């Protein structure tokens, strides 16, 4: 049973993150009611089927079908629960800040439901927002629509997740830290007990004012992207230095506790729904208040240059227009079908636009890729088919199944390995080039 004095929780927004949160809450013993505007998702969840792709989620939903239900109605759902988690999109606007359009809708509905509720209720926003949003936007909406006072009649917390798609469930169960921005001590303590129930690794819980938690969220992601871009800069330098090997360099400097090995691997640039936009938002926030974020701005510039850098390496290997290029991997990282800001997808797109005959394959992201690439490339039916039909194979996203490919498929072909992913068998039978490692003279 839950350790917190909370037994019934509602989750508003059942997308990739919201549904994982709802399922992990149910797994922890809470009775969970999900609110989702998409009726097809509601129907799937109530049948015990996950409507979104995330490893381990299907099993979690099936195992907790009695504790996890979904509806499209706020009415009666919020008021019948003790706490509400809001996990709705906060897309970037033209300035680089986060739009609060969906947060506004959700909080207005929640406020109206709280108006007639007699007992205390905890509202938790997990969606990433700009500093100042909780005090300047979210709290006023809830107080206005409910007619109640935050900190007295209801509690409000900001509790962003630090997770990666493809590893969401483990990330929620075993986070490095839990970050809580709180309206008052009672709200923060209640959320701490909920998180203590969910998490299996007893992580440190950092509680603070809203503004500090809001800034901590985007600054952490901005710092991580800086490490990625630094590693990619090292990779480019290593390629141009005789004997250079980025893996040896990053392994050495990563052993220094001031640096650490995480996210320090020269390869393709970062993508996905969080890292690019959080880094831009961090720079935007600094500019807005008259501060400087030169590191964030430089990180963004370095990241944008990585696609052309990889394309340039491919162009140095392939002959145009005769050579056929196969791109393995299109999602922004393994174990997800998300192609948002995927550099692998951009590489395939640029090569197709450059006049090459491009064939692509991804274990999970083909449908999403088709919406972006259209008929500019050919879509292979399998990884094997993609390799067979290509003169140059670009390993763009390191899906584990690509390592299981028979090395004989690569015999006589050129290979550009963006992640130093393939083993000696592939390297020995192909004309092999690796990002981050200098080619020996005459190779």
The answer for residues whose C-beta is within 8 angstroms of residue 270's C-beta and 6 or more apart is 225, 228, 229, 276, 303, 332, 343
The answer for residues whose C-beta is within 8 angstroms of residue 426's C-beta and 6 or more apart is 405, 407, 410, 415, 432
What is the mean predicted confidence (pLDDT) over 85-100?
96
Residue 2 reports pLDDT greater than 60: no
Q: How confident is the model at residue 1 (pLDDT cuts 50, 70, 90)?
A: very low
What is the mean predicted confidence (pLDDT) over 116-138?
97
Is residue 1 assigned to a domain? no
Say whether both 343 and 428 belong to one domain.
yes
Q: How confident is the model at residue 439 (pLDDT cuts 50, 70, 90)?
A: confident
Is residue 213 assigned to a domain? no
pTM of this structure = 0.93
Percent of the chain topping pLDDT 70: 98
Is residue 440 assigned to a domain? no
Mapped onto helix, strand or coil, the DSSP state of residue 308 is: helix
Helices (H), 115-167: 133, 139-146
Domain ranges, residue 260: 218-304
List the CATH number of the domain containing 233. Answer: 1.10.1040.10
Is residue 30 assigned to a domain? yes
Residue 443 reports pLDDT greater than 50: yes
Is residue 3 assigned to a domain? no
Say whether both 49 and 146 belong to one domain.
yes
List the CATH number of the domain containing 397. Answer: 3.40.50.720
Say whether both 92 and 183 belong to one domain.
yes
pLDDT tens, residue by residue, 373-385: 999 999 999 999 9
Backbone phi, psi, residue 183, to 5°: -75, -30
Say whether both 190 and 261 belong to one domain.
no
Say whether both 163 and 267 belong to one domain.
no
What is the mean predicted confidence (pLDDT) over 63-90?
96
Residue 14 reports pLDDT greater than 90: yes
pLDDT at 74: 96
Mean of the per-residue pLDDT values of the chain: 96
If one counts the domains in the chain, the total is: 3
Distance CA 10, CA 33 (A): 5
Domain stop point among 304, 330, 358? 304
Q: Which residue reads 């039916």 in tokens? A: 381
Residue 103 reports pLDDT greater than 90: yes
Q: For residue 405, what is the DSSP state? A: S
Distance CA 111, CA 106 (A): 9
Say whether both 366 and 265 belong to one domain.
no
Is residue 90 assigned to a domain? yes
Q: DSSP letters of 317-386? A: TS-TTT-EEEEE--SSSTT----TT-HHHHHHHHHHHTT-EEEEE-SS-HHHHHHHHTTSSEE-SSHHHH
pLDDT at 6: 76
Say whether both 188 and 256 belong to one domain.
no
Domain stop point among 269, 289, 304? 304
- Active-site amino acid positions: 274
Q: How confident is the model at residue 322 (pLDDT cuts 50, 70, 90)?
A: confident
Say whether both 78 and 181 belong to one domain.
yes
Q: How confident is the model at residue 319 (pLDDT cuts 50, 70, 90)?
A: confident
What is the mean predicted confidence (pLDDT) over 176-193?
98
Residue 321 reports pLDDT greater than 80: no
pLDDT tens, residue by residue, 195-241: 999 999 999 999 999 999 999 999 999 999 999 999 999 999 999 99
pLDDT at 433: 97
> What Rg do the C-alpha atoms of the chain give, in angstroms?
24
The encoded tokens of residue 179 equal 């970050």
Is residue 297 assigned to a domain? yes
Residue 441 reports pLDDT greater than 70: no
Residue 5 reports pLDDT greater than 90: no
Q: Does residue 321 or residue 300 have the better pLDDT?
A: 300
What is the mean predicted confidence (pLDDT) over 133-157?
98
Say whether both 311 and 361 belong to one domain.
yes
pLDDT tens, residue by residue, 231-289: 999 999 999 999 999 999 999 999 999 999 999 999 999 999 999 999 999 999 999 99
Is residue 443 assigned to a domain? no
Domain stop point among 208, 228, 245? 208
CB 99 within 8 A of CB 129: no
Sign of CA dihedral 367, 371, 372, 378: positive
Say whether both 250 and 362 belong to one domain.
no
Say whether both 117 and 42 belong to one domain.
yes
Residue 112 reports pLDDT greater than 80: yes
Percent of the chain topping pLDDT 90: 96
pLDDT at 4: 59
Say whether both 243 and 334 belong to one domain.
no
pLDDT at 442: 54
């Amino acid at each position: 049973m839950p350790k917190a004095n909370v037994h019934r929780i509602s989750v508003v927004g059942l997308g990739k993150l919201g549904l994982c949160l709802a399922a992990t809450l149910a797994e922890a013993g809470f009775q969970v009611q999900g609110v989702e505007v998409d009726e097809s998702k509601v129907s799937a969840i109530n049948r015990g089927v996950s409507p979104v792709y995330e490893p381990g989620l299907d099993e979690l939903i099936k195992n907790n079908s009695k504790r996890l239900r979904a509806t499209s109605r706020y009415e009666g759902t919020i008021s019948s629960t003790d706490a509400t988690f809001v996990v709705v999109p906060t897309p970037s606007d033209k300035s680089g800040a986060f739009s609060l359009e969906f947060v506004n809708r959700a909080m207005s509905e929640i406020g109206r439901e709280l108006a007639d509720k007699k007992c205390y209720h905890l509202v938790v926003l997990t969606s990433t927002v700009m500093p100042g949003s909780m005090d300047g936007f979210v709290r006023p909406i809830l107080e206005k629509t409910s007619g109640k006072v935050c900190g007295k009649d209801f509690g409000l917390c900001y509790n962003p997740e630090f997770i990666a798609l493809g590893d969401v469930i483990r990330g929620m169960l075993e986070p490095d830290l839990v970050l809580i921005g709180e309206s008052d001590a009672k709200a923060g303590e209640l959320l701490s007990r909920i998180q203590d129930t969910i998490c299996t690794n007893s992580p440190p819980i950092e509680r603070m004012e809203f503004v500090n938690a809001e800034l901590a969220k985007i600054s952490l992601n901005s710092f991580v992207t800086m490490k990625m871009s630094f590693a990619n800069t090292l990779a480019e330098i290593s390629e141009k230095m005789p004997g250079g090997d980025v893996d040896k360099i990053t392994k050495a400097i990563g052993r220094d506790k001031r640096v650490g090995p995480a996210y320090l691997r020269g390869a393709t640039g970062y993508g996905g729904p969080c890292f690019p936009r959080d880094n831009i938002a961090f720079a935007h926030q600094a500019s807005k208040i008259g501060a400087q974020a030169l590191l964030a701005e430089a990180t963004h510039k370095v990241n944008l240059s990585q696609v052309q850098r990889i394309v340039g390496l491919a162009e140095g290997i392939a002959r145009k227009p005769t050579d056929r290029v196969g791109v393995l991997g299109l999602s922004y990282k393994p174990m997800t079908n998300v192609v948002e800001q995927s550099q692998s997808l951009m590489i395939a797109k640029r090569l197709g636009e450059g006049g090459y005959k491009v064939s692509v394959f991804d274990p999970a992201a083909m449908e999403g890729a088709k919406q972006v690439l259209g008929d500019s490339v050919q879509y292979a039916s399998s990884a094997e088919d993609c390799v067979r039909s290509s003169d140059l194979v670009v390993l763009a996203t390191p899906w584990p199944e690509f390592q299981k490919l028979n090395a004989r498929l690569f015999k006589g072909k050129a290979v550009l390995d963006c992640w130093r992913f393939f083993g000696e068998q592939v390297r020995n039978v192909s004309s092999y080039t690796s990002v981050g490692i200098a080619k020996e003279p005459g190779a």
